[in-house]
Structure 1
Amino acid sequence: MEELLDYISSEIYQKSHVVVDDFVDRPFRKALLEEQIQLVQQGKFKTAAVGTGGQKQVRTEIRSDEVLWMDAEDLSALQSAFWEKIAEVRKVLNQRCFLGLRSFEGHFARYPIGSFYKRHLDQFHAVPHRVVTVILYLNDSWTSEDGGALRMYIPQDDGSELIEDVLPIGGRLVVFLSGEIPHEVMPTKKERISITGWLRDID
């Protein structure tokens, strides 16, 4: 785990993003997936909104996923174990990249068939405290034919952008700087499940 954490921090420092396969083992991933499916069946998820505060509104032409925010004060055992893993990522990023990360917020995310999220940045004027985006995919199987890729637009020194598509393969972790990499979720052809969260510089 220490070598993996070193790799994550090195890639973030040099490239502002990193993709890591098998960040969690299969039994743990399966357990998180099953917990999320149960929460979906219990009607806990809501259509995701855009904006914050009084500007918050559902705009399905921009994003059509469903989310369930995790309550830091009321986590399940599985969610607590996941938060502990992310705390290790936060610790090493602070040590190696000096990002001043102090807390984590996250939600389960479900993309039904046909859903998407148009290009956006996770850090903007209304949410300036999101420093690092962290995504863990929980899907059992995925191929390029299933769509639903995370498309990142990675800024280059010459002002151009490098497009990198990342498939939401179960156990895969994606980490990137929230204010530097625009991204979108391409339309998915089957249900797409993940945990998405942000390491922040506030408590």
Structure 2
Amino acid sequence: MTMNSSGRNTILAEELYEKGWSVVDGYIADTFRKQLLKEQRELLQHGQFRHAGVGNGQNFAIKPEIRSDKVLWLDESELTPLQQKYWDTMEQLRADINQRCFLGLRAFESHFAMYPPGSFYLRHLDRFQNVQYRIVSVILYLNDDWSENDGGALRLYFTGSTGLEEYTDIFPLGGRLVVFLSGEILHEVLPTKKTRISITGWFKDEY
């Protein structure tokens, strides 16, 4: 039996509350995933992606030695029908996380992300001095197929039961959703051997 979105969100929010991160496979229907993947590829072919940087405002800089992905930010006022459907799905998730975790999440921002072969993103937090408003990070993978030999895992660092730092590697399987606390979970993207595609976003405590 396929779990409905409410059931998935309940599990996700509970795990986020208990340990600071959660992974749910098959979060969206595979037909929807393929549609988003097709749209992403078309946007990439039209040259709308840009090299991602670090920092923001006057501190923004392209630093390929730190991260080497390309992104296309989504504009909430100019979403395509597919993007709007995804946005609505995230809005329900935001409400369900708020109901369980009391994080005061108010809004969402997101971009398509593409890691070409050989690219990576070194260990970091998503919430830092210039983006204090990021509370929960949300990543939805769109890849058609993936194996561990393809690399590109998201490595999450956390404090284990012994009090020592541990980590878990999460591979970018299509339809897999990962959420974690932006200001607490250090993470990195390990070098990928083939093109790695996702929609990455953040729930914020401001509009």
User: Is the TM value for this pair above 0.5?
Assistant: yes
- Please state if 1:170 is matched with 2:170: no
Partner of residue 184 from structure 2, selected from 158, 162, 180: 180
Partner of residue 8 from structure 2, selected from 4, 15, 20: 4
In the alignment, residue 42 of structure 1 is paired with which amino acid? H
Query: CA separation in 1, counterparts of 2:159 and 2:70?
Result: 29
TM-score, normalised to structure 1's length?
0.98
Unaligned runs of 5+ in 2: none
Unaligned runs of 5+ in 1: none
Query: CA separation in 1, counterparts of 2:113 and 2:58?
Result: 23
Query: CA separation in 1, counterparts of 2:79 and 2:94?
Result: 19
> For this pair of structures, how many residues does the alignment match?
203
SS in 1 for 2:129: coil
Partner of residue 20 from structure 2, selected from 16, 37, 42: 16
SS in 2 for 1:106: strand
Query: Following superposition, which runs of at least 4 residues in structure 1 exceed 2 angstroms of deviation?
Result: 155-159
What is the correspondence of 1:16-95 to structure 2 with a 5 Å cutoff? 16-95=20-99
Corresponding residue for residue 195 of structure 1: 199
Corresponding residue for residue 150 of structure 2: 146
Residue identity over aligned pairs, in percent, reads 54
What is the correspondence of 1:100-179 to structure 2 with a 5 Å cutoff? 100-156=104-160, 158-179=162-183
RMSD: 0.8
Offset at residue 66 of structure 1 (A): 0.2
Offset at residue 144 of structure 1 (A): 0.3
In the alignment, residue 152 of structure 1 is paired with which amino acid? L
1:153-174 Cα distance to aligned partner (Å, 9 max, x none):
0123654211100000000000
SS in 1 for 2:14: helix
